[in-house]
Chains A and B, each alone.
Chain A
Amino acid sequence: MTWDTEFAISIIPRLLEGLAVTIQATVIGYLVAVVLGLFVAILRRIDYIGPVVFVVFEFIRTTPVLVQLLFVFALAPASVEPLTIGVAVLGVHYAAYTAEVYRSGIEGVAKGQWEACRALSLPPWRVWGAVVLPQAIRKVVPALGNYLISLFKDTPYLFAITVGEMLFVANAIGTEAFRSMEAYTLAGLFFLAVSVPSAVIIRRLERRYAAV
């Protein structure tokens, strides 16, 4: 099979549409992951609720995201958009990872900080909101950033639940035109074009936060 540049150029708009869906899924899924993960990390420290939350999210963390996608897709009513399911499952799955990241950040806050809060009788919302989380999150920004790239690279799994992301589009083009090399190659390049600059930005953030 030979490379057909003209054909390759002609499919770029469709692939970019797929890329837009991929990015949408990444961004929304990631927002779910960073917000939910924070709640999970805090809930895990509460009596009674904590152990339950721990078991549920350990289960989510240690089972493959593809299985979770197919499972929820199969159970969800047909009226729910596949993209919605995909974003929710990716978000919850990655929340299990970000919760671990937050947990390590929270545990890294010196014991003396908690004691100073107690000595000042600070209410819990200030202890968490003004003292513990600002210090904890600062330390884990780079680790959280790495999960943004991982999540982005996991979006092709959405293919399995018929979300029109970039891999889905590439595959559709291949089936229609009986040639798939151009579409898959371009899809790969587009992934690269997004993740390499993102990785560079995250490395920079990492250095910045490590410096202070």
Chain B
Amino acid sequence: MSVAPTLLAVEDLTKSYGGVHAVRGVSFSVAAGEIVALIGPNGAGKSTCFDMLNGQKTPDRGRVRLLGEDITGRPPRAVWRLGVGRTFQITATFPTMTVRENVQVALVSYANKIFNVWRSTPDFERGEADRLLELVGVGGYAERPCGELAYGDLKRLELAIALANHPRLLLMDEPTAGMAPRERIELMRLTARIAREQSIGVLFTEHDMDVVFEHANRILVLNRGTLIAEGSPDDVRRDPQVRAIYLGEGLVYDARHREGAGA
């Protein structure tokens, strides 16, 4: 990969809840167009990291910079306006709206038409909404109440919403949780393609090591709030510390496993 400008730079990020050190002194960066996986066992602090990156939570210490600009402690809506899209571990959508309207609301916000009181939202940039839905593969459900979607499709819808503001950076917390293995690979392929085409940086967490090793350009390993390894998929795969952590979870990635899944 050619040298891309640093998109996201995180320094010494730290957060504790009472006595629990959820995240401790985490530093890393993501370049434009780069796909970075943040992995680690449950409770390692991945979601907490994400929450601090988009302003959902304020770090106790540390800085978050987007294209050099310090965005630490800004509210989520401000971070979003700077071009950071986010999907949640537990999907957050608007259940009483149709699938298309979910995207249209994001488009309304992107166009700064929130306080417009006379236009009709169901007609607002319908074409663009449908294009995004088509892109993530739920175009056929545009008119369906969003509450009726299967969980996997909700994840896709979240991706469409996150893409509505032409983001520079996508934060995806367990984007494929609750999906069938084939669907996971498919969704990540799609995400990788979009990221490549639009030069979007992607930071994602994932439990499925097949997905991680196939798509990540770089992997960060978090354990009990600290970054214990970082590097290319091959480096991380060979790291003894990582193996030790993952052995317990039965998630060790090795060549045999890969052949089995790829067949």
Chains A and B belong together in one complex: no
Query: Which B residues form the contact surface with A (CB < 8 A)?
Result: none
Binding site for B on A (CB under 8 A): none
